[in-house]
Amino acid sequence: FIKVLELNPAIHEAHVNLGILYKTTGYLDQAVHHLQKALQLQPDFVPAWQTLGIVHSMRSQQERAAACFSRQLELDPGSLPAMKNMGNVYYLKGDYAQAEFWYRRALAQDPHNLDAKIGLGDVFLVRKEKEKLGSIIDELIRQYPVQPVIADLFGKSCFLLGRIDEAHAYIDRCIDQCGAMSRTINPLLFRKGDILHKKRDYDQAFRFYQQANRMKGGRYRRKWQEQITGKMISLFDRDYFSHHVFDKKGGEDCVFVIGMPRSGTSLMEQILDSHSMAKGTGELMFMENWASQRLSGREQSEIDAITEDEKERARAEYREFRRQQTGVRDRKGVKRYIDKMPTNFFHLGFILTLFPEARIIHMRRHPMDTCLSIYFQDFGADITYSHDLKDVAHFYGQYTKLMNHWEEILGDRILTIDYESLVDDIEGNVRRVLEYCQLPWEENCLHFHSNNRLIATASASQVNQPLYRHAVQRWKHYEEHLQPL
The pLDDT of residue 475 is 95
The pLDDT of residue 2 is 87
Give CB contacts under 8 A, 24+ apart, made by 112-120.
Answer: 112/143, 113/80, 113/84, 114/140, 114/144, 114/147, 114/149, 114/150, 115/84, 116/83, 116/84, 116/87, 118/149, 118/150, 118/153, 119/84, 119/87, 119/88, 119/91
Q: Across-strand partners of 255?
A: 338, 359
Closest CA to 302 of 251, 403, 231: 231
The Cα 470–Cα 421 span in angstroms is: 14
The pLDDT of residue 404 is 98
The pLDDT of residue 146 is 94
pTM: 0.89
Does the fold of domain 142-216 match that of domain 1-127? yes
CATH 1.10.630.10 fits 1-127, yes or no: no
Fold type of domain 142-216: 1.25.40
**pLDDT digit of tens for each residue in the chain (485 aa)?**
888 888 898 999 999 999 999 998 888 889 999 999 999 999 999 999 999 999 999 988 888 999 999 999 999 999 999 999 999 999 998 899 999 999 999 999 999 999 999 999 999 999 999 999 999 999 999 999 999 999 999 999 999 999 999 999 999 999 999 876 678 899 999 999 999 999 999 999 999 999 999 998 778 999 999 999 999 999 999 999 998 898 888 889 999 999 999 999 999 999 999 999 999 999 998 999 888 888 765 566 667 778 889 999 999 999 988 887 666 665 678 999 999 999 999 999 999 999 999 999 999 999 999 999 999 999 977 789 999 999 999 999 999 999 999 999 999 999 999 999 999 999 999 999 999 999 999 999 999 988 776 665 555 555 556 676 778 899 999 999 999 99
The Cα 267–Cα 449 span in angstroms is: 9
The Cα 263–Cα 370 span in angstroms is: 6
CATH 3.30.420.40 fits 226-481, yes or no: no
The pLDDT of residue 365 is 96
Q: Phi-psi region for residue 164, left (φ > 0), alpha (ψ -120 to 50) or beta?
A: alpha
Helix H, strand E, coil C: the string for the chain is: CHHHHHHCCCCHHHHHHHHHHHHHHCCHHHHHHHHHHHHHHCCCCHHHHHHHHHHHHHCCCHHHHHHHHHHHHHHCCCCHHHHHHHHHHHHHHCCHHHHHHHHHHHHHHCCCCHHHHHHHHHHHHHCCCHHHHHHHHHHHHHHCCCCHHHHHHHHHHHHHHCCHHHHHHHHHHHHHHHCCCCHHHHHHHHHHHHHHHHCCCHHHHHHHHHHHHHHHCCCCCHHHHHHHHHHHHHHCCHHHHHHHCCCCCCCCCEEEEEECCCCCHHHHHHHHHCCCCEEECCCCCHHHHHHHHHHCCCCHHHHHCCCHHHHHHHHHHHHHHHHHHHCCCCCCCCCEEEECCHHHHHHHHHHHHHCCCCEEEEEECCHHHHHHHHHCCCCCCCCHHHHCHHHHHHHHHHHHHHHHHHHHHHHHHEEEEEHHHHHHCHHHHHHHHHHHCCCCCCHHHHHHHHCCCCCCCCCHHHHCCCCCHHHCCHHHHHHHHCCCC
Q: Which residue ranges make up each domain of the chain?
A: 1-127, 142-216, 226-481
Provide the residue type at 9 as one letter.
P
Query: Is the separation of the CB atoms in 31 and 23 below 8 Å?
Result: yes
Query: Is the separation of the CB atoms in 188 and 180 below 8 Å?
Result: no
